């Protein structure tokens, strides 16, 4: 089928370089069926296309490993010391009545590790495992016993000796007997005594040797 058209036809063919092909005019022309017109094929460009370089992917940050453990640590509990009255001990003395003993307590800790390294430690409680024993010191309060003084024989005044006797002093009294004898006094003489006058107390006995209270 023929179509009559009035057209201005410009065909451009691209290739290596630029070639203009004109067949332009104002004329009535008979042209072939458009389906019969050959189609120009574009030659590929000789300029290479630029491909963007891939960006490096950042490495992921590793997540730290965190663990929490429980730990018990034992320590001593100091004992106390008290002083108390001891009525069975001598006044002012001191004696250990009960020996003091330290106790034991355990403290619980929560320990945090980050990648195997300890990073935190918190005390979370404690318990007494052995109670301490209080030291007791006794203070004596018993008064010291005072021994009675030894008996003191009555001293005979020097001017109260009977002049009939020499040696030991024979007191002047209603009667004097030898201390080693069986007389009943009320006064006594240890002897021996020498009769220098009258033996008024009969201290010489029956031997008549002039010496009394010889035993």
Query: Tens of pLDDT along 83-118?
Result: 999 999 999 899 999 999 999 999 999 999 999 999
- Check if CATH label 2.20.230.10 holds for domain 66-142: yes
The torsion defined by the Cα of 210, 183, 154 and 144, in degrees rounded to 10, comes to: 130
In terms of pLDDT, which residue wins out, 159 or 69?
69
In terms of pLDDT, which residue wins out, 129 or 46?
129
Distance CA 42, CA 27 (A): 29
The domains of the chain are located at 3-36, 66-142, 155-215
Q: Is the pLDDT at 185 greater than 60, yes or no?
A: yes
Q: Is the pLDDT at 170 greater than 80, yes or no?
A: yes
Q: State pTM to two decimals.
A: 0.38
The pLDDT score that the predictor gives to residue 68 is 96
191, 181 contact by CB (below 8 A): no
Distance CA 103, CA 212 (A): 82
Beta bridge partners of 83: 137
In terms of pLDDT, which residue wins out, 42 or 195?
195
Distance CA 74, CA 102 (A): 13
* Cα–Cα nearest to 188, from 199, 180, 196: 180
115, 170 contact by CB (below 8 A): no
Give the Cβ contact number of residue 168 at 10 Å.
18
* Cα–Cα nearest to 1, from 37, 30, 29: 30
Listed in sequence order, the residues at least 6 apart from 8 whose beta carbon sits closer than 8 Å to its beta carbon are 24, 25, 26
Strands 81-90, 66-77: parallel, antiparallel or unpaired by DSSP?
unpaired
Q: Which residues of 125-138 are buried (b: 16+ CB within 10 A; e: fewer)?
A: eeeeeeebeebbeb
Beta bridge partners of 212: 193
43, 16 contact by CB (below 8 A): yes
Band of pLDDT at residue 50, cut at 50, 70 and 90? low
């Amino acid at each position: 089928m023929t179509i009559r058209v009035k057209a201005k036809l410009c065909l451009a063919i691209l290739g290596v370089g630029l070639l203009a092909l004109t067949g332009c005019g104002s004329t009535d022309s008979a042209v072939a069926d458009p389906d019969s017109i050959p189609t120009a094929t574009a030659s590929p460009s000789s300029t290479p296309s630029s491909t963007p370089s891939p960006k490096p992917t950042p490495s992921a940050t590793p997540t730290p490993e965190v663990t929490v453990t429980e730990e018990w640590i034992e320590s001593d509990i100091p004992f106390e010391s008290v002083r108390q009255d001891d009525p069975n001990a001598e006044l002012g003395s001191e004696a250990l009545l009960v020996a003091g003993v330290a106790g034991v307590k355990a403290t619980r800790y929560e320990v945090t590790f980050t990648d195997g390294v300890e990073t935190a430690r918190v005390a979370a409680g404690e318990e007494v495992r052995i109670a301490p024993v209080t030291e007791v010191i006794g203070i004596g309060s018993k008064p010291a016993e005072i021994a009675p003084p030894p008996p003191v024989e009555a001293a005979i005044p020097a001017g109260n000796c009977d002049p009939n006797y020499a040696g030991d002093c024979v007191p002047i009294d209603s009667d004097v007997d030898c201390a080693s004898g069986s007389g009943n006094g009320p006064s006594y003489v240890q002897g021996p005594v020498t009769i220098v006058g009258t033996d008024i107390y009969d201290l010489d006995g029956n031997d008549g040797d002039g010496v009394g209270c010889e035993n």
